[in-house]
Amino acid sequence: MATKKSTETKKATKKATAEKKPKASLGAKKTVAKKAVKAKAKKASSKVKLTPEQLFVKTQELAYFLAEKDGFSRNPTHYWLDAETEVARQN
């Protein structure tokens, strides 16, 4: 009967060891999950879609600042087109 006890003890030890292993991997899974959530939040914040009115205002302001920086030396259409290109590149 002493053999049964030692066999039962070995089985119990194996079960306890098997139960401990998933706990260690949970920490790694949590870290991966946190990184995934951060990545999704970053993507969501970079995908802000502006309304046509907001795009117009941004273009208008940027065209003015480009013209002011250049001393208003060119045709206003050139500044507007440069501003549209820059706003489109940002979005």
Q: What pLDDT score was predicted for residue 10?
A: 63
Measured between alpha carbons, how far is 11 from 19 in angstroms, rounded to an integer?
12
Non-local (6+) Cβ contacts of 59 within 8 A are 80, 83, 84, 87
Same domain (yes/no): 56, 39: no
Q: Which residue range is the domain that position 26 belongs to? A: 1-44
Report the percent of the chain where pLDDT is more than 70.
49
Q: What pLDDT score was predicted for residue 19?
A: 57
Q: What pLDDT score was predicted for residue 41?
A: 62
Same domain (yes/no): 33, 59: no
Same domain (yes/no): 77, 55: yes
Same domain (yes/no): 40, 54: no
Same domain (yes/no): 34, 67: no
Please report, as a single letter, which amino acid is at residue 80: W
Same domain (yes/no): 6, 29: yes
Q: What pLDDT score was predicted for residue 77?
A: 97
Measured between alpha carbons, how far is 58 from 66 in angstroms, rounded to an integer?
12
pLDDT tens, residue by residue, 38-64: 666 666 556 688 999 999 999 999 999
In the chain, how many domains are there? 2
